[in-house]
Structure 1
Amino acid sequence: MRGSEVELRSEEGQMGFAEFAGNQRVVTALQGMLTADRVPHAMLFSGPRGVGKYTLAVMFAQAANCARRKDDFCGECEPCRRIGLLAEPAPLVEQGLAQRGESADAAMVERVPLILQTHPDVWSIVPDPMRLRNPVARPVLHMGQLRAVARAANFKPTARRRVFILDGAETMRWDLANIFLKILEEPPESATLILLAPNPYLLLSTIRSRCLQFYFAPLSTEQLEEILKRRTQFKPSERKLAAQLAEGSPGRAMHMDLEGAAQLRRDVLQVLERAVEGRSYAQLFDATAQLVKGQKESFENVLEVFYIVITDLLELAYGSTDRPLRNPALRQELGAVCKKIDLEWVAQAVDGLDELHGRLRRNINRQLGLDAVAISLARR
């Protein structure tokens, strides 16, 4: 579930924050807080998926409770080892869902919230997949989870500090955010909440303003290739391709299905090709159906690839000729499509994708939503 972020560690044999790959300015800032014993009550980690937000949040929780060190973590003491188990959340999620039972209804989901806990002072709250009899399309944070955090945040820690990691903070409904806002307005003395979100502006401004914000920047392709060289068995050509397709995310690069990632980009481009070429709606819908049903990636990632491909089209049509494309292997096909579009088409494409992305919160039918975007882009 979080495989793209749990392995962002540097050379084997190192322990502590030195394990973390990339975004050293954030690491330095966190260590400075621990050294000065001036840890904020709430932080917001934002940035693309796979750049290590969750990984560093778990590391911070270890450092805040390490029995041997103050501004770092040893990885060997009992608190470090127990908290470190949160770095692999997928088994814990499965365990929590199994305990709740396959026949759970919506009321049960609120009464028995999904909370990942391997140490008394550290919780990881992730969007609940809600394996219900009638499953929802998109996991979100629920009222039961937020209320549980609000209660537990006021308990005294057994070690040094209570840490609550809220992954997917952008998925909490705005009408439920007031539950969380109350914690931020009256913060407990010895607790820190760490919110994780790809885009900080998906959260209410009242929540953002009460958090110390850190942005996790994507890594360069050169940095990614160096990490892949040290830590994977990829061939040089595979390292180059993975670095190009990973969008600056070391987590994605290291766990990437290269063939699947390349095929996803071809499938997205095929939808856009059929739209601008004025193909029949039947052909257009065949392409969108193949994209929605045939992909292992989340639908959010599929939409992200649409943005990436459209960025390349815009760059080819109106940008610098010497600027590298994000999909260099598709240069010829992209070049053919860019001759048939204009700025109005690009703006319409982005607006349609933005609207579709926004409606995912309401569990919109993804196939129909993508069909509507494709129709709006079709040239007749």
Structure 2
Amino acid sequence: MQEQSLFQKIRGQSRALKILFQAIENEHIAQAYLFHGIEGVGKFTTALYFGMALNCLANKEFRPCGVCSSCHKFLNFEHPDLLYLFPTPNLQLTPEGEIKNDEYRKEYEGYIRNKIETPWEDYRFSSNIMIRKESISWLIKRLNISSYEAKYRICIIEDADLMNIETANAFLKTLEEPPESTVIILTTNNPSQLLPTIVSRCQPIHFQPVDPNVIAQILIDDFNTSPRTARIVSQIADGSVKYAIHLVQGESSKLRERAFEIMQMALEGNDLAYYRSLQANLQKYNAENLIEIIRYLCMFVGDLDLIESAEEQVVNIDKKDFLIEARAKIPIQNSAELTDKVLDFVLLMQDYIRKIRGNVNLQLIQQNLYFQLNNLFRP
């Protein structure tokens, strides 16, 4: 039997967990909760573990244990009293909950597998997604049936802000007066997009951005990341554990290649090429794209601090030759000086990201970030 609660796996959310612990301890469980906060900080995992804890068969101090029959069913999304809704394409869902669209059924099942096996990875459906009225109608019908075996029936609605007004209004009465021993948990990254009438019927619990030191330790402990890489990534992840994991796994994308192109032009001092490419791509990259590019730039710059002394820990190892060349061109006296330069660059890029979200001119940001790269190679 496991010797500690699965809640121990949720780090950086002590305030939210304290509220839920008190509810469990006092047996004063709200009928509906709203877990809100930025993406990748543990909202869904906490919702699932909270539902597990309310139904766990282990001793109180070990709940949720993760190994009893109830917990096992929850972790595999097989518990008959776990009702889980998330945004999907049009599944052609019947009133009985049968998915008639074969293509989207496979994608639906793929989303669930991803949630079980690698929940930090994004899953992309092939069509537009939303929480549809037929899904809410099925949920309401299920809630009107007696629970099967659980002490508390758990209903989790992920990304609840992707309900349209009609769907949300159809759910209001159930949310206000759910059946006895039913706990409804809504999660959202965008609470402002929810109807006020939805928000007012829930107990809100805020999930704060995770402290960079906590993110760094998670990367070191759970993803075998070097302390130096973890430190860099944690500074640019904006409090999101999920995004930090994406970064250390070295995702390849067109935005990563754009970041690499910018690095190359800065290293070569090819200012004219950069400004021509900037003009050619002005309409191509929106604010979120530019933030992604900046984050990839930070990872490339972070690798410069590792390429000579800890090559096995380099994230962008496919760019090894370039990193060695770039590292050799940085005028420094010792490795400690390079580490300082890297951290200074990362902190400055964090400031740029904040400015982008404050609607600063994107062209100006792109000019300045190139200037800062130039300054790294040629102070």
Which TM bucket (shorter chain)? 0.5 to 0.7
Deviation at 1:19, TM superposition (A): 2.5
Deviation at 1:155, TM superposition (A): 2.6
Distance 1:327 1:269 in 2: 21
CA contact (8 A) 1:218 1:249 kept: yes
- In the TM superposition, what whole-angstrom CA distance separates every residue of 1:328-380 from its partner, at most 9, and x where no partner exists? 53678899x99xxxxxxx79x8569xxxxxxxxxxxxxxxxxxxx9799999x
Partner secondary structure for residue 193 of structure 1: strand
CA contact (8 A) 1:43 1:211 kept: yes
Match of 1:82 among 66, 73, 86: 73
* Residue 20 (structure 2) aligns with: 30
* Residue 55 (structure 1) aligns with: 45
Match of 1:184 among 164, 175, 181: 175
Distance 1:261 1:117 in 2: 24
TM-score (norm 2): 0.60
* Residue 215 (structure 1) aligns with: 206
Question: Cα distance 1:258–1:83, how it changes in 2: closer, same or farther (>3 A)?
Answer: closer
- Tell me, yes or no, if structure 1 residue 248 matches structure 2 residue 243: no
* Residue 185 (structure 2) aligns with: 194
AA aligned to 2:241 is P
CA contact (8 A) 1:62 1:83 kept: yes
* Mean Cα deviation higher: 72-81 or 247-256: 247-256
* Residue 230 (structure 2) aligns with: 239
* Residue 73 (structure 1) aligns with: 64
Question: CA-atom RMSD, angstroms?
Answer: 4.9
CA contact (8 A) 2:161 2:188 kept: yes
Deviation at 1:185, TM superposition (A): 2.4
Distance 1:115 1:157 in 2: 27
Distance 2:260 2:168 in 1: 35
Distance 1:204 1:99 in 2: 28
Question: Cα distance 1:216–1:330, how it changes in 2: closer, same or farther (>3 A)?
Answer: closer
Partner secondary structure for residue 44 of structure 1: strand
Question: Cα distance 1:75–1:330, how it changes in 2: closer, same or farther (>3 A)?
Answer: closer
- Tell me, yes or no, if structure 1 residue 225 matches structure 2 residue 216: yes
Which one has a bigger Cα radius of gyration?
2
* Residue 146 (structure 1) aligns with: 136
* Residue 157 (structure 2) aligns with: 166
TM-score (norm 1): 0.60
1:50-129 map, 5 Å: 50-70=40-60, 72-86=63-77, 100-102=100-102
* Structure 2 residues without counterparts, runs of 5 or longer: 79-83, 93-97, 114-121, 263-273, 297-339, 368-379
Match of 1:329 among 336, 339, 345: 345
CA contact (8 A) 2:225 2:248 kept: no
Distance 2:364 2:279 in 1: 11
CA contact (8 A) 1:129 1:140 kept: no
Question: Cα distance 1:186–1:268, how it changes in 2: closer, same or farther (>3 A)?
Answer: farther
CA contact (8 A) 2:4 2:65 kept: no
CA contact (8 A) 1:150 1:179 kept: no
* Structure 1 residues without counterparts, runs of 5 or longer: 1-11, 119-126, 271-277, 293-299, 310-323, 339-345, 353-372
AA aligned to 2:9 is E
CA contact (8 A) 2:236 2:350 kept: no
Distance 1:83 1:128 in 2: 20
Distance 1:58 1:287 in 2: 43
CA contact (8 A) 2:259 2:293 kept: no
Question: Cα distance 1:258–1:327, how it changes in 2: closer, same or farther (>3 A)?
Answer: farther
* Residue 281 (structure 2) aligns with: 286
Distance 1:145 1:114 in 2: 16
Distance 1:115 1:155 in 2: 28
Question: Cα distance 1:63–1:301, how it changes in 2: closer, same or farther (>3 A)?
Answer: farther
Question: Cα distance 1:30–1:253, how it changes in 2: closer, same or farther (>3 A)?
Answer: same
Deviation at 1:212, TM superposition (A): 0.3
CA contact (8 A) 1:61 1:163 kept: yes
Question: Cα distance 1:42–1:239, how it changes in 2: closer, same or farther (>3 A)?
Answer: same
* Residue 358 (structure 1) aligns with: none
Distance 2:228 2:36 in 1: 31
Deviation at 1:241, TM superposition (A): 1.9
CA contact (8 A) 2:133 2:166 kept: no
Distance 2:26 2:110 in 1: 31
Deviation at 1:226, TM superposition (A): 2.3
Distance 1:140 1:55 in 2: 21
Deviation at 1:54, TM superposition (A): 0.6
Distance 2:161 2:224 in 1: 35
AA aligned to 1:28 is K
- In the TM superposition, what whole-angstrom CA distance separates every residue of 1:45-98 from its partner, at most 9, and x where no partner exists? 0111110001001101111111234572221211100101249x9xxx99x999
AA aligned to 2:39 is R
Partner secondary structure for residue 256 of structure 1: helix
Distance 2:189 2:48 in 1: 17
Percent identity (aligned): 23
